[in-house]
Structure 1
Amino acid sequence: MEQALIWTEWTMEFNSSVFSPARANYYRCLQTLLLLSQEDTRQPLQYLNAFIKMYGAEAVEAASAALSGEAAFYGLPAVDHDLQAFPAHQSLLKAYDKLQRAKAAYWSK
């Protein structure tokens, strides 16, 4: 968790000028949850209502999911092995396939 906190703070510092307000709020929430997770005497559930008031339910849910490993990257779709979540990538693959078929047809003459 210590490395996660270091990288969260690094991300906040170097990307703050390009983050949307929602993304900045998410990273502030994530930083708070990471700091709290390092303390043995406190339980994050004790502060759930306060966090929801401070950051909003969506940010708290997303940050909690990141901590538990359910959702690794905020705002990015889940990716399968075929990369179906990326339409631009699928278009490039179709264009590449079309090019390969055209090359095969041309060279077979």
Structure 2
Amino acid sequence: MLKSMEKEQTKNNNGQHLQDQQLVELVDEIRGYRDRIDHLREKMNEARDQVETLLIERGGSWKDDEGYAVLVSEGECTSYDANALDELLLNDPLRYGWLKDYRRKSVVSGSVKVK
């Protein structure tokens, strides 16, 4: 019985060792992908900056059969807290139109949109 338990323990240890090896390999693979993604993001941002410069020089947008590139101007975005509005509608329908209490504004920076 003792030998049977030792064999089972050895089997469990070998199985765990294989799992550990697989985990190491997969985690390394994921880290490699992450590094490549970061590198590609940098290259994409550099290309986007160049597109922005060219669009500014050109004075407009650009398009082809697959999509377009356009300058998006800086602006302001207004949104509302939907949960608070729902609660307001239920609790005080007359105040529902007074949205300014729940209005959120945020600055949207200018950018280049490429599709």
TM over 0.5: no
Between Structure 1 and Structure 2, the one with more strand by share is: 2
Mark the structure with the bigger radius of gyration: 2
TM-score range, shorter chain: 0.3 to 0.5
Q: TM-score w.r.t. structure 1 length?
A: 0.32
Taking CA–CA contacts closer than 8 Å with sequence separation of 6 or more, which of the two structures ends up with the larger relative contact order?
A: 2
Between Structure 1 and Structure 2, the one with more helix by share is: 1
